[in-house]
Structure 1
Amino acid sequence: MSIRWILSLGIIGLLLVMAISQILLIHSFRERIEQQISSSSSELTQVVLDEARRQLIEIPLPPTPPDPLEILRDLKVPPPETLGNREEREAWRRELQQQLEQNREERQARQQEFQANQQEWQAWQQQVQQQVQQQMQQNLRIVIQRQWSPEAIRAQVEQAQQQMQLQSAAPLFREFTTYTVMLIALSTGVAMLISLWLGHRLIQPLQSLVAGFRTLQQGQLGQQIEVQGLREYRYVSAQFNQMSIRLAELAEMAEQAQQQQHLVEIGEMSRGLVHALRNPLHTLTLLMEQLGDAPDEDQRRQLLQQAEQKILHINRSLTAVLTLSCAEVDRQQQVSVSAILQDLQLEFSASPVRIELDAPTDLVLAGAEQELRAIIHTLLSNAVEASPVNGRIRIRLDAQCAELCITDQGSGLEPAIAEQLFQPHVSSKPAGAGMGLYIAQRLMQRYYQGRIVLENSEPGGCRACLFFVESKR
C-alpha cells in the first residue's frame, strides 16, 4: 500500500468516525426530545383531567327521583297480601297515600334546595366573570396608561413563550452540550490514535533509513536495513541495500587498486633507489680506497667526512622508501608543528644561512611525527641548499589556515623541470636522486589530505607551501 492510499484511508476513516458519532448523537437527542415531549404531554393531560375531575366533583348534582320499590320498602305499612278484610285494606291505602304525600313533600324540598344551590352556583359564576372582566379592564387601563401597543404586548407574550420554552429545553441543551463535548473528546482521542498509528507507519522506516545512512557515514559499508513499510519505503530500502552493497564492492575495488598503485609506486621507487644508490655506493668505494692511500691525517679526516655524508644520503633514501611503504604507522598522535620547526631550526643552525621562524600560534595535527618531520625536513633542506651564503630563509606558520610556507633567496625554480619536480627521479641537483619531493607529496596526499605547492617568489627565490586542508584538529 502506498503513502497516498494510507493517508487517504486514514483521513476517510477519521471523517467516517466523526460523521457516525454525530448521527448517533443527533438520533439519541431526537429520541430524548420525543420522550420528554410525550412525558410532558402525559403530565399536562393528567393535570387537566385531575382539574376537570375536581371541578365536576364540586358541582352539586340534582336529586334523583326515588325508586318506587325503595319507597314501598321505606313505608311502614304491611304488604297488601297480609291484609284480610276491606277495612284493613282501606287503612293501608290511606297510610300509603300519607307516606307518598310525605315523600312528595321531601322531594319538593330537595328540588327547591337544588334550585337554590343552582342559583348560588350561577351567582358565583357571574361573580367570577365580573371579577375577571374587572381584572381585564384594569389590565387594559394599565396597558393604556403605560401606552403599550399591541405589537409590544405580542412581543412580550412571544418573549415569555420563548423564555418558557428555553426553561423547558434548558436541561436538554445542557445534556446535548455535555454529549457534544464528550463526542469531541472521543473524536480527538481517536484522531490522536490514528495519527500515532500513521506516524509509526510513516516514521519508523525513515528512522531505519536514517540509521543506515549514519552507519554508511561512519564507514561501515555493506550495511543492510530491513525492507518494511509501505510500497515507497520498501522500494527506497531495497535501493539503499543495493547501494550499500555496491559501495562496499567499490570500496574494496578502490582499496585493491590503491594497493596495486602503491605496489607500483614502491616498484618504481625501488628501481629509482637502485639507480640513486649506485653513484653514492661507487663514490663510497672510491673514498674507502683513497682512505687507505691517504698520506696524512687531515686528508683521511676529510675523506671520512665525505664518506659519512654519502652514508647519511643512502640512509635518508632508504628511510624515505620505508616510510612511504609502511602502512602500520600510528598516525593518530597529536603532533606540534611548532616543535618540529624549532627542532629543525636548531639542526640547520650550523649552515651558512639564517633561518627566521614566524609561528605566533601553534598548529597541532593528527599524524606521525616522523613523517611530518621528514616532509618539512625535505623542503627546508632544499631551501638551505638553494640559498646563497649568508642568505635568509623565512618560515611562516599560519595555524588558522593550516598553512606552512618556507621562502628562500635562491635562484628559484627552473622552468624546464618546474612541473616535473614531484615525479620520481627528477631533480635539479647534480647529485640528487629526485625522490625527496616525490615522497613528501605522496605522504601529504595519501595520509594528510594536503598538498605541496612550489612557486617562484619576488624578487627572487622559491616559496614552498604545505597546505594541511582536512587534517587540522
Structure 2
Amino acid sequence: MSIRWALSLGIICLLLAMAASQIWLVRFFQSQIEQQISSSSSEITRVVLAQTADQLETIIRQPPRPPAPPVPANGEAPREHKVRIIEIEKDGRQLSIESLTDINWQQEQHAIEHLLQQIAAEKLQDRAEQLHRSGRFNQAGPLIAEFTQYTMLLIAASTALAMLIALWLGHRLIQPLQRLVAGFKQLQHGQLGQQVAVTGLADYRYVSEQFNQMSSQLAALAAQAEQHQQQQHLAELGEISRGMVHALRNPIHTLSLLLEQVASSDDPLLRQRLSEQAEQKMQHINRNLTAMLTLSCADIDRSQQVLLQNVLHDLMLEFSNEQLRFSLTGDSDASVAGAEAELRSIFHTLLANAAEASGGKGQISIDVRTDLSQVQVTICDDGPGVSADILPRLFSPHCSSKADGAGMGLYLASRLLKLYYQGAIALHNRPEGGCCAMVTISGAAQ
C-alpha cells in the first residue's frame, strides 16, 4: 500500500470514528432527555391527580346530626324515632337509606363516605385518561426525534466533506513524494540524470532539488566510470597485445624452423613427427588468438546453458594418450550460462597446464560440484607442483615457469571468468605432490 492511500485511509477511519462517537452521544442524550421528560410528566400527572382528589374530598360532607328527641316530662323512655328516607341519585340509580336511630348513625355516615369515594375514584380515573389523551407531555418526543435526525444528517454531511478534503490534501501532499519515488525507480533501472519537477511546499522543493543534483552527479560519475573502464580495457588490450606478440613470436619462429626441417628432410618418419609438432604450434597460436578475440569482444551471447560435462569430455579426448589418463567425477548435470567457446578456452588452458606439468603421463582428476548457485570444477595433476615464489604471480601477464611460455594463458582465463562469469581461479599445491586448480563459476542452473 502506498503512503497516499495509507494516509487517506487513516484520516477517513479517524473521521468515521469521530462521527460514530458523535452519533452515539446524540442518541445517548436523546434517551436521557426522553427519560427525564417521561419522569417529569409522570410527576406532574401525580400532582394533578392529587389536587383533583383534594377537590373531590371537599364534596364529602357530613350531614347534620339529627337532634335528640325531647325527654318527656313524665320521665318515660323515648319512643323509637320515625323512619326517614334519604335518596341519593347516582347514574340514575335510586338508593334508599333508612333513617337510623342514634345507635346506627355511624353506619350511615360510613356508607355515605364509601359511596362518595367510589364516585371520586371514577372521576380521578377519567381525569388521568384525559391528561394522557391530551398529549401535553408527549409533544416533546417528536421535537427531540427531529432534532436528533437533523443533527445526525449534519454529522454525516460534515464527515463526508471532511473525507473529500482529506483525499484532496492527501493527493496534494503525496504527489511530490510520488514523483520522487518514480524518479528513484528510474534511477534503479539505470536511467541516470533523471529530473523531477520542483513544486510544492518548501521541504518538498528542497528534496526535489537535492534529488536532481544527485541524479546529475550520478550520471556524470557513470560517464566517468565508463570512460575509465574503456581506458582500462584499452590498457589491458595493450598489455595483452604485447604478451601475444611475445607468445606468438616463439611459436612462429619454431614453426618456421620445423618447416625448414620438413623441406630438407627425406626421412618419412621425421617429416611426420615434424609435421605433428608444427600442427601443435599452429593450434597453440590459434588458441591464443581466439582467447584474445574473445576477451576483446563484449557482444557474445552468454545466455545459453552449457553442460560442462560435454566440454570436459571433448578436452579429455583431445589430451588423452596411452600414458596420460583422466577421471571425471561429481555432478554430471552441472551447467552454467555462458558461451561454450569461452568455457572451452578456459578449461583448455587449465588441462594443458596440467598435462604439461605431468609430463604427458600420470593421472589427471576432474571433479565437478554444484553448490547453491555456483559450480566448482577442480583439476588436479601428479606433477611437481608450482614453485612458491611464482605462485602469487601466476595470474599476472607474462608470468610463466616454462621456458617457451608466454605467461598469458592463466591471465586470459582469469580475466574471462572475472568479467563475464563472476568467477575466479585458485591454485594450490597438494601435500602428496601435484597441483590443483579450482574454478568457481556463478550462475549454475538449478
TM norm structure 2: 0.66
Residue correspondence of structure 1 range 123-138 to structure 2 within 5 A = 134-135=116-117
Q: Does 1:419 align with 2:392?
A: yes
Counterparts of 2:141 and 2:118 in 1: how far apart (Å)?
A: 33
* Aligned residue identity for 2:411: Y
Structure number, greater radius of gyration: 1
2:215 to 244, 248, 256: 244
The 1:137/1:226 distance shift into structure 2, 3 A limit, reads same
Q: Does 1:332 align with 2:303?
A: yes
Identity across matched positions, percent: 55
Residue correspondence of structure 1 range 164-183 to structure 2 within 5 A = 167-183=138-154
Displacement of 1:331: 2.6
Q: Does 1:253 align with 2:224?
A: yes
Give unpaired runs (5+ residues) of structure 2. 1-6, 27-32, 34-111
The 1:166/1:456 distance shift into structure 2, 3 A limit, reads farther
2:383 to 410, 414, 417: 410
Counterpart for residue 368 of structure 2 = 396
The 1:427/1:179 distance shift into structure 2, 3 A limit, reads same
The answer to whether the Cα contact below 8 Å between 1:361 and 1:399 also exists between their aligned partners in 2 is: no
Counterparts of 2:313 and 2:199 in 1: how far apart (Å)?
A: 61
Counterpart for residue 203 of structure 2 = 232
Residue correspondence of structure 1 range 53-202 to structure 2 within 5 A = 134-135=116-117, 167-202=138-173
Counterparts of 1:472 and 1:230 in 2: how far apart (Å)?
A: 51
The answer to whether the Cα contact below 8 Å between 1:361 and 1:398 also exists between their aligned partners in 2 is: no
Deviation readout 1:284-327 (Å, 9 max, x if unpaired): 22212222222411111111111111111111112111111123
Residue correspondence of structure 1 range 359-378 to structure 2 within 5 A = 359-360=330-331, 362-378=333-349
Q: Which has the higher strand share?
A: 2
Displacement of 1:265: 1.0
Displacement of 1:221: 1.7
* Aligned residue identity for 2:369: L
Displacement of 1:214: 1.9
The answer to whether the Cα contact below 8 Å between 2:351 and 2:379 also exists between their aligned partners in 1 is: no
TM norm structure 1: 0.63
The answer to whether the Cα contact below 8 Å between 2:336 and 2:443 also exists between their aligned partners in 1 is: no
1:318 to 289, 304, 310: 289
Counterparts of 1:412 and 1:244 in 2: how far apart (Å)?
A: 52
* Aligned residue identity for 2:148: T
The answer to whether the Cα contact below 8 Å between 1:225 and 1:237 also exists between their aligned partners in 2 is: yes
Deviation readout 1:363-384 (Å, 9 max, x if unpaired): 4433322112211222222223
Q: Does 1:457 align with 2:397?
A: no
Counterparts of 1:331 and 1:198 in 2: how far apart (Å)?
A: 51
Counterparts of 1:249 and 1:352 in 2: how far apart (Å)?
A: 60
Displacement of 1:261: 0.8
The 1:221/1:282 distance shift into structure 2, 3 A limit, reads same
* Aligned residue identity for 1:393: S
Q: Secondary structure at the match of 2:327?
A: strand
Deviation readout 1:71-116 (Å, 9 max, x if unpaired): xxxxxxxxxxxxxxxxxxxxxxxxxxxxxxxxxxxxxxxxxxxxxx
Give the count of matched residue pairs: 337
Counterparts of 1:174 and 1:458 in 2: how far apart (Å)?
A: 100
Give unpaired runs (5+ residues) of structure 1. 1-6, 27-32, 34-129, 143-156
Counterpart for residue 98 of structure 2 = none
The 1:353/1:269 distance shift into structure 2, 3 A limit, reads same
Displacement of 1:418: 0.8
Displacement of 1:471: 7.5
Counterpart for residue 78 of structure 1 = none
Q: Does 1:442 align with 2:415?
A: yes
The answer to whether the Cα contact below 8 Å between 1:450 and 1:470 also exists between their aligned partners in 2 is: no
Counterparts of 2:299 and 2:421 in 1: how far apart (Å)?
A: 15
Deviation readout 1:375-404 (Å, 9 max, x if unpaired): 122222222322362313122231534122
Q: Which has the higher helix share?
A: 1
Displacement of 1:443: 1.2
The answer to whether the Cα contact below 8 Å between 1:294 and 1:300 also exists between their aligned partners in 2 is: yes
Counterparts of 1:166 and 1:468 in 2: how far apart (Å)?
A: 95
The 1:458/1:407 distance shift into structure 2, 3 A limit, reads farther
Displacement of 1:136: 9.3
Counterparts of 1:352 and 1:235 in 2: how far apart (Å)?
A: 76
Counterparts of 2:408 and 2:421 in 1: how far apart (Å)?
A: 19
Counterpart for residue 119 of structure 1 = none
Q: Does 1:380 align with 2:356?
A: no
Counterparts of 2:139 and 2:220 in 1: how far apart (Å)?
A: 82
Displacement of 1:419: 0.7
